[in-house]
Each structure stands twice: as C-alpha cells, then as structure tokens.
Structure 1
C-alpha cells in the first residue's frame, strides 16, 4: 500500500484562485478610484464655499464702509491673499484688522505639489474653452470691473475667484 501525501495546492487550484482574486480586484479598483474622486470633489466644494463666504464677507464690509476703497473699486478683494492678510477696519478707533480667512484652502484637484496654497488655484476666463483654459482679466482696487460680457476669470477647481463676483452681481 502506497500512500500518497498531498501537501499544498495543485497548479489548477492556484490558477483558479489567481483568476478569482484578479476578478475581484478588477471590480474593486474602479470603485476605489470613484471613491477617491468623490472625496476630492467634496473637498473642492467645501474649499470653494469657504472662499466664497470670505469674499462675500469682504464685499459686505466694503459696502458697509468698513474697508477703505479707491474710487471706482468694486468692493471685492484684489486677490485671495488679502482675505488672509486682513484689512484695516475703518470703523475701529484703534485701527484693528479684519480677517476673512485663516488660510487659503488648497485646491484638491491640483495635480502637483505647491508650497503656497494660493498657487494651486489657477485663472480661467469665461471666454476660454474648458479644454484650453486661458487667463482672463481680474478686477483690482485700482481698476473698475469689466462688464459681465467681458472676459473675466472665475474660481473652479483650477480657476480664480473673480467670476464669482460677476455671477453674484448679475443675479
């Protein structure tokens, strides 16, 4: 009587296990990628909302006369960094600063690394196509805003904030 000892798996069993595992990975990988993308989109929405609320608070303070503006200025901040650096409160006898953002949030859709979060937000004009974005004009405290039909930039996952002002002003 010869006894056959079987230790381990046969080649067929290993191939079958490998096929099952690879099938499960093929199903799980797209789900994981979608989950990561949705997480980034949620972060983007929160970042845009945070920036939008800071811009609105700045505009409200400017309209209330609490921020010194040049003649013809729109009342919107010239750039996002002003929201972090703060501006002098004209209503404060001690000249206290008003701050609208603790920091500029990072664009979660930005593909690379940047030392400054403000660099992760790019400019895109309303007039430029989505597949070939180009910079538009921005309003500063020294220049008046162009009409809504002009090429103005706006904030998206890779855009600047000035178009939010245009959309809000026309609403």
Structure 2
C-alpha cells in the first residue's frame, strides 16, 4: 500500500504561492490603514473648523461676549469645549461648540488633542500660518503628503 501525502515540490510551490500573495497584500493593508487615518483627519478638520465658524457667527450675532477690538474668533481651542456665557440668558447658561477636541490621527498620541494641531490666527497669512491671540484656522502638523499628493499641512 502506498502512503498518501504531499511531495516536497508540492509543499514548496504552495508556500511560494502563499508568500507571493502575502507580499501583495501587505502594501494594500498599509494603504487601507493610511486612507482610514486620512478620512479621520478630514473629519476632524471639518469639525474643528465648523466649531470655529459657529463661534464667530455667535460672536458677530451678539450671543456671546466679544471685546470691541476682538476679531470674534475663539482665543483657544479649549474655549470651544469649555463653552462661553450666553449673554441672552439671565441664568448664566453657556454655549458649547464642541464636545471634545478631536486628535490629529497622524499626531503624537502622547500629547493632549489640542496640542496635535497647528493654529493660525486671523492676523497671520495663509502661506505662513502662525498662532496669535485667536484661532482662525487649524492645520495638521504631520509631515508628509496624503495619498492625493497634497501635504497634510495644507488640508
């Protein structure tokens, strides 16, 4: 009676095929993970920018306090979470613009979320953003470019 099993050639061919498939799948997995982080970055930027715009609209409408010489933009990102006093309410109610500050998915996970973003004040030019007395915009501090070729700082 003859023993059944695989020959050495069959095993080597099978291992080679599996290794080839794994080498093709590894870069695809990396791209999928990176695309997921880029989608998180887009969402986080949208939420923060939307909250900054809502703060500005509330300040311009007179719903929250605004100094005469102020731009109407929030002084920090934390203000968007901590809220500001609603001047229309006698009970001292607060207006909140964000539940929490999203973290830059490409940023350092050991830093607080508000420190993972670059801040641009209203007085700084768009091609050379700098922090200042207010927060007009945020940008990613991550080095490198996205899958679309645009640097993360310019998103």
TM range (shorter): 0.7 to 0.9
1:139 aligns with 2:133: yes
After TM superposition, list the pairs within 5 Å mapping 1:109-120 onto structure 2.
Answer: 109-110=106-107, 112-114=108-110, 116-120=112-116
TM-score with structure 2 length normalisation? 0.77
SS of the counterpart of 2:118? coil
After TM superposition, list the pairs within 5 Å mapping 1:34-45 onto structure 2.
Answer: 34-45=31-42
TM-fit CA distance, 1:11: 2.2
TM-score with structure 1 length normalisation? 0.70
C-alpha distance 123-11 of structure 1, shift in aligned 2 (>3 A): farther
Residue 30 of structure 1 aligns with which residue? 27
Alignment gaps of 5+ in structure 2: 143-155
1:75 aligns with 2:98: no
Larger radius of gyration: 1
Q: Distance in 2 between matches of 1:14 and 1:155?
A: 55
Residue 11 of structure 2 aligns with which residue? 14
TM-fit CA distance, 1:36: 1.0
Moved over 4 A (4+): 123-128
RMSD of the alignment, in Å? 2.4
Q: Distance in 2 between matches of 1:61 and 1:68?
A: 9
Q: Distance in 2 between matches of 1:137 and 1:114?
A: 22
- Report how many residues are paired: 138
TM-fit CA distance, 1:33: 1.2
Q: Where is the strand percentage greater, Structure 1 or Structure 2?
A: 2
Q: Distance in 1 between matches of 2:55 and 2:140?
A: 22
Q: Distance in 1 between matches of 2:95 and 2:137?
A: 24
